[in-house]
Amino acid sequence: MFAGCTPVAPLIRIGDKWTGKIIACLRPGPRRFSELQVPLRGITPKVLTESLRAMERDGLITRTAYAEIPPRVEYELTPLGRSLLEPMAACCGWTKAHLSELLNAREAYKHRAPTPV
């Protein structure tokens, strides 16, 4: 997204529904597939797999599979992935600070005077 710089959203899947949340879930440390499914309430395994694969491809996380029974796979943020936490925090901060303004605007819009012209 955003003009004037190479568009982030189409390039890395940050504008999508899950990538940001996954990064936030991995922030404290490595997590297993099933451990990610819980906080990401209701994500289907298909979508989680797709997201993790894309993030691995882009170097944001590593995937470590242990040859055990039952199988165990751990996902962990790379330094690159971890560096995303900073701009993410800026976005979260904006939301916290301005969400109510936005909702007010939306509410006011519903009851606005009919647009002239």
Partner DNA sequence: ACCCCTAGTTCCCGCAACGATAGTTACGTA
Partner DNA sequence: TACGTAACTATCGTTGCGGGAACTAGGGGT
Query: Counting contacts by CB under 8 A, is residue 35 touching a second copy?
Result: no
User: Contacting a second copy (CB under 8 A), which of 32, 38, 39, 45?
Assistant: 39
Of 46 and 65, the one with the shorter C-beta distance to a second copy is 65
Q: Which two tokens stand for residue 15?
A: 């504008």
Query: Counting contacts by CB under 7 A, is residue 76 touching DNA?
Result: no
Spatial separation of the C-alpha atoms in residues 73 and 62, rounded to whole Å = 10
Nearest in space to 14 (alpha carbons), one of 48, 46, 51, 45:
51
Q: How far is the CB of 11 from a second copy (least distance, A)?
A: 7
Cα 61 versus chain centre, distance: 13
Spatial separation of the C-alpha atoms in residues 59 and 52, rounded to whole Å = 11
User: By the criterion CB under 8 A, which residues form the site for a second copy?
Assistant: 1-12, 14-17, 19-21, 23-25, 39-40, 56-59, 63, 65, 67, 71, 80, 83-84, 86-88, 90-99, 101-102, 104-106, 108-109, 115-117
